[in-house]
Amino acid sequence: MGIDLEASMRLFLERIDFKGLWKIMGTSIKYAISKFIRGRVNSVEDEVVVESPIVLFVNRKRLRVLYATPGELTELAIGHLITEGFIKSLEEVTGLYVKNNEVHVDASAVVEERMKLYNAKTIDIIKTMCGQSSERLIESLSARRVQSSIQWALSEIFKLVRKLNSDALLYRRTGGTHVALIADTKGVEILCEDVGRHNAVDKVIGAYILRESAYFDHTLLVCSGRLSSEIVLKVARVGIPILVSISAPTSLGVSLATQLGVTLIGFVRGFRCNVYTYPERLTFT
């Protein structure tokens, strides 16, 4: 008989006082460790990024548990609900508050109808290592291509990737986060970090919506994680035309980017990159 992992995780969550831990946690914790280098052992202090269950409620119903780094939880909740298709705009959110490791969102009735449409479970644990995207989401997006005549110079994209690397302060301290950055043609640049690559993308999209209240057709998103189908779907959902990463794409990521009109750029290294789809949005200078 196999192990019921979801039931085991629920028992684990019930037994651990995460609310109590929350009061002493920041985005990282220092541990006393033994470090081995070339046959020698030293007692040192090591900084480790925090991963904590963040419980997302919509209209007092527990929707999902996101395993994320504390901080920017309002941005995470808004970004996640929008990139997963539960809300279409901020006008559908009537209230939001954060309490310890819980985010409570009040939303209009149409949001609950969408939750039923997507067969949202009472508890849907989303792991940081692999996202979940429904076939219905893919189908609904397939007829909605990203429409944008924007053009970005590759030289500017290389600068943004350098900024992604230099400004990821939590990563520089812990080596344990993914990073996402949104930039637009007006000069706005927003960077977010999280232990999960999906969460980092959700946070930065939520941050842009909350701070700029603008459309995404003049933006691009740079991230540190691989360009999988879930990440492509998230940016296509909000209409971001260009998606960039220092990592590799997957086959389904490339296929969906082609289908949904997203320019996909991977393996950015220094002044080199691979452009997989829609190079006409780039000027090679």
Cα 18 to the chain's mean position, in Å? Answer: 22
d(CA 259, CA 278): 11
Parallel/antiparallel/unpaired status of strands 52-58 and 28-37 = unpaired
DSSP the chain: ----HHHHHHHHHHHS-HHHHHTT--SEEEEEEEEEETTEEEEEEEEEE--EEEEEEETTEEEEEEEE-SS-HHHHHHHHHHHTTS-SSGGGEEEEEEETTEEEEEE-HHHHHHHHHTT--S--EE-SS-----HHHHHHHHT--------EEHHHHHHHHHHHHHS-HHHHHHS--EEEEEEETTS-EEEEEESSHHHHHHHHHHHHHHHH---STTEEEEESS-B-HHHHHHHHHHT--EEEESS-B-HHHHHHHHHHT-EEEEEEETTEEEE-S-GGGEE--
> Does 192 participate in catalysis according to the annotation?
no
Catalytic residue among 130, 192, 223, 273: 130
Question: Hey, which residues are catalytic here?
Answer: 130
